[in-house]
Structures are given as C-alpha cells and as structure tokens.
Amino acid sequence: MDIGNRIRTLRRQKGLTQSQLAGDELTKSMMSQIENGRALPSMKTLNYIAEKLGCEPGYFLESDRDDFISLVRKTERALNEKKYMAVYHELKPFMSEKLPATVNTARLLEQFAIACMHQEQPEAKEALNKAISIYERHSLYRESAQAQLAFKIQLFKQNKFTEHLQLINDVRGYYAEKQIENDILFELKLLYDEAISMLALGHYQEGKDILLRAITLSKEKHTYYKADEFYRIVAYQAVLQGNIEEYQEFIKKAQQYATFTESNFSLALIEMMQAFYYNSFCKDYKKSLHHVEAYRQYTTELSELYYLEKGKALFGLQQYTEALKMLNQVNIPKQLFHPLDRAMIYTSGVYKALCYARLGEKEKSIQEAEQAYTNIKSLPDSYYYKFASETLVSLYKQFGKSASTLD
C-alpha cells in the first residue's frame, strides 16, 4: 500500500473529510493529490498529517512484503474453513523472522495466534500481543479491540467463562477510552459472546435477555448479523423454560432468517431444534423423526445431534434395539465446550439406560444412568440435570436399589 492509500484509509477510519485533515496547513486540493498519488508529501507535511491522524509518520513509509499481502488472504480463507493446523504450519516459519511492523504483519500474527489457540499451542499469547501492539502503533484501535477479543478462544477452551465476561468488559472499556466510532457488527459480536458465557454459567434469564437486546439492536440498525442464530438460541432457552408459545414464535423467526440468508448450516440446526422439541416436550416421536430426516436435506454430515435425536425418537417408538444403535454412535466432540451443549449430548447415556431397562438389562441400565448423571451433575443446573437425576431415581426404584447416595 503506498503513502497516499495509507493516508486515505486511515482518514476514513477516523471519520475525517479531506478538508478536515488538511486543516489550516494544507488545501483540500493538495490533500486530494497526495491521497491519489499525484503528489508526494514533504517530511514536514507527513509529520503534520500523522499528528492529525494520531499515528507515527513511519506508518506511511513502511511497505509490506509482497508475499505477506497474498498470504494474509490465503490464511484468512483457511481460518474460515477451520483449517487451524494448516494455518499454524504455514505461518510458524515466519515467526522466527524479524518482521516489519506493518498492518499485514499484525494480521498474520493475529491469524497465527488464532490458529495456535485452536491447536492449544503455547505461542498464541505472545503473537497476539505483538499484533495488538502493532495495531496500537498505527492507531488502529478498532483492529486492536477485535484482536483483544480473540483471547476468548483460549478462555472458551479452558471453560473460563467468568474470565471471558471480564474480557468483554475490558474491550468495551477500551472502546470507550479510545472513543472508537460505534461498530454495530462488533457490538453484536460482543452481545452474542456475553450471552453465550452467561448461559454457560447457568444465568439463563440474563443470557436470554442479552440475546433479545441484540435482536432489538439489529432491528433498529437494520442489520441482520447472526439474526437466525440469535433467534434459534432464544427459542432454545424458551423451550427449556417450558414457554412453548415463545419457542414457536422464535423458532419460526430463526427459520425465516436462515431461509432468507440461504444458510444450510442454520437450517440443519433448526431441524435438530425441532426434533429436540418434539422428542423432549411433545412426545411426538413420528414428527421428531420427520425433522431428523429433514436435517439431511441440508447437510451430509451426520452429527452427534442427529444420532441423539434419532435415538430418542426410536426409543419413544419402543424400538429399543434400533435406538441403542443410534445412541451408541453419540460421542462428545472435541470442540464442544459449552456446558449446555455438553449436557444435552450426555443425555444420550440417560436414553441408553432407559433402553436397557426396557430390554431387561438391569446392570447396563444402572451403569449408563449413573455415568450420565455424574457427567451432567458437574455442569451448571439445567433441565438436563433434572432429567438425569429423576431418571436415575426412577431406575433405582424399578430395580430395588437405594437412591440414598444420590445428591
């Protein structure tokens, strides 16, 4: 990027017109010529422009390596495809070099840090702090704030949801301190992350309220970022709270937005949400199976949810052997960190216990129920804990075993 382009880019980020940046020292015409590459500013002029834009003059003189520019685009695509190991190995050789303090260097460092966190590599913190430092040096405070928020990946993987909420507060404070112009998409990301951590800590109503606030903000600003996901998660909370009317309203909205955006991923998850609803609350197992099979219209990947909900439906239809075949294929995915998601998957053990009980296999039934109860008990209180504990007590009574040791 040449000097003129750098000046124009930073001016626009600061929300200044050419006349405002020119001030009393330059004319708008001269500023236009500099930005369009028809005039080269003197060092005195460059110092003046840098001071007005709140950065060092050296920022405009630094040049990116050609290979960095294409590499940034390549690794960004790879991250979007969740190819974290590939990005890690692609960028690691550059980390031992003396890198120029340019914006694209900061982007590469940030990408490397994200890949490190997903791969649980120790270099993440150092790389991300370097990226933040470079963004700060060039007065790119929005980029710095977004890079700071990337630490959430590590916190999520370590189940540090309270620390994640503190990180969000710190980033909001940084935004206010630097007087960064409000970025609606970034604010929606913060609200989404805040809600997810609230839900992970068992603060279900607070999490739901934050999601509803995000939906209201989206409507006010005519922005539909993650609208389908916001509605789907709110619908999930509504059904867990037994508010069926709210659930039906929100799941319909989620489906409308997912259809509008042509998101097969969201449409697939909505089918699984509907299967969960009909299995767990309506006991309409045929309708649940309909949604389970509809899920396959949108994806070829048979996820844990697919096997879980199909197994539950088959159990409800008294096809216990077939249900066990499905439920035995349910495993906790390595990348599943949210306690509510984990609790849902752990209920596969509860349903296996019920299947074994119907088949008269007492020992297997009790073993599965106890293991599922133990797993879910370690997570925040939820509908799933109640289901697991009530089932275990019921099986103890059925098989003549004391439930006195159950908390």
What would the DSSP string read from start to end of 146-197?
HHHHTTHHHHHHTT-HHHHHHHHHHHHHHHHHHTPPP-HHHHHHHHHHHHHH
Q: Is the pLDDT of residue 66 over 60?
A: no
Residue 302 — very low, low, confident or very high, per pLDDT cuts 50/70/90? confident
- CA dist 254 and 277 (Å) reads 15
Q: What value does the mean pLDDT take over residues 50-64?
A: 73
The domain spans of the chain are: 3-61, 62-181
% of the chain with per-residue pLDDT over 90: 65
State the chain's mean pLDDT as an integer: 90
Q: Is the pLDDT of residue 41 over 70?
A: yes
Summarised one tens digit per residue, pLDDT across range 158-215 is: 889 999 999 999 999 998 888 777 788 889 999 999 999 999 999 999 999 999 999 9
Q: Is the pLDDT of residue 94 over 90?
A: no
Query: Taking Cα atoms as reference points, which of 5, 62, 81 lies closest to residue 38?
Result: 5
Helix and strand numbers, DSSP H then E, in the chain = 23, 0
Please state which of the four CATH numbers 1.10.260.40, 3.40.1080.10, 1.10.10.60, 1.10.1270.20 is assigned to the domain occupying 3-61: 1.10.260.40
Summarised one tens digit per residue, pLDDT across range 315-343 is: 999 999 999 999 999 998 777 889 999 99
Query: Taking Cα atoms as reference points, which of 104, 115, 167 lies closest to residue 138?
Result: 104
Q: Is the pLDDT of residue 148 over 70?
A: yes
What pLDDT does 25 receive? 86
Other CB atoms within 10 Å distance of the CB of residue 147: 26
Question: Is the Cβ–Cβ distance between 33 and 39 less than 8 Å?
Answer: yes
What pLDDT does 78 receive? 93
Q: Is the pLDDT of residue 65 over 60?
A: no
Summarised one tens digit per residue, pLDDT across range 102-134 is: 888 899 999 999 999 999 899 999 999 999 998
What pLDDT does 62 receive? 61
